[in-house]
Structure 1
Amino acid sequence: MTFVNAGTIGTLPGHRDELVATLTRRNDLLRELGCQLYEVGVSEESPDTVFVVELWDSAEAHQRSLEHPDVRGSIAEARPILSGEFGGFRFEVAGSPLRQA
């Protein structure tokens, strides 16, 4: 079943755009690991927060991706500019009027 991970990532003051640049680098590996959609956004109301919505083949595919050496390397690269503030939610997709679930 399709899995969604939607959340917020806090950055140290002034580092939001740096994190956005890291998260939006072309990465075909994510598709190979089962990621169908990975959208990164910002809001001027939250200048030190990055918003991320991920759509995965399954919760298991998402979890496995976190164990891949390249993904772990990207996380390690971003860690020094993170504030430690995270938020969000996860759910299994029940359906969509725009596509097959």
Structure 2
Amino acid sequence: MYGLIGKMLARAGKREELLAILLDNKQPMPGCFSYIVARDPASEDGIWITEVWDSRESHAASLQLPHVQAMIAQARPIIAGFGERFETEPLGGVGF
């Protein structure tokens, strides 16, 4: 499995708008076991995204899906940048 934990930074005052865009994706992403979006309580502009995939290749392929491309295009103008990024090797847990 492949895991990814990353921090995204919204433009000042745009975090809730960016969260709404990220949470609106209800379409399937083949190979995705978990896609969690969360507010960073230590930063008024910070967002954490935690993902678990069956493989690195499935994650890469998801970025080419039309609905994911549309979400990226909608979010891009209000993304100020990115923070930490961690790759992991999930082993299991609740929900697997």
TM-score normalised by the shorter chain: which range applies? 0.7 to 0.9
Q: Name the TM-score, length of structure 2 as normaliser.
A: 0.88
Equivalent residue, structure 2, for 1:6: 5
Secondary structure, counterpart of 2:50 in structure 1: strand
Specify whether residues 59 and 66 from structure 1 end up closer, same or farther in structure 2 by C-alpha distance, changes over 3 A only: same
Secondary structure, counterpart of 1:8 in structure 2: strand
Specify whether residues 97 and 53 from structure 1 end up closer, same or farther in structure 2 by C-alpha distance, changes over 3 A only: closer
Structure number with larger C-alpha Rg: 1
Q: Which amino acid aligns with 1:72?
A: Q
Structure 2 unaligned residues grouped into runs of 5+:
none
Q: Which amino acid aligns with 1:47?
A: E
Specify whether residues 98 and 73 from structure 1 end up closer, same or farther in structure 2 by C-alpha distance, changes over 3 A only: closer
| Alpha-carbon shift at residue 68 of structure 1 (Å) | 1.4
Tell me the distance in 1 between the aligned counterparts of 2:7 and 2:56. Answer: 18
Specify whether residues 82 and 99 from structure 1 end up closer, same or farther in structure 2 by C-alpha distance, changes over 3 A only: closer
Percentage identity across paired residues of the two chains? 33
Specify whether residues 25 and 97 from structure 1 end up closer, same or farther in structure 2 by C-alpha distance, changes over 3 A only: closer
Alignment RMSD, CA only?
A: 1.7
Q: Which amino acid aligns with 1:55?
A: V
Tell me the distance in 2 between the aligned counterparts of 1:73 and 1:99. Answer: 28
| Alpha-carbon shift at residue 51 of structure 1 (Å) | 0.5
Equivalent residue, structure 1, for 2:76: 79
Structure 1 unaligned residues grouped into runs of 5+:
none
Q: Name the TM-score, length of structure 1 as normaliser.
A: 0.84
| Alpha-carbon shift at residue 86 of structure 1 (Å) | 3.4
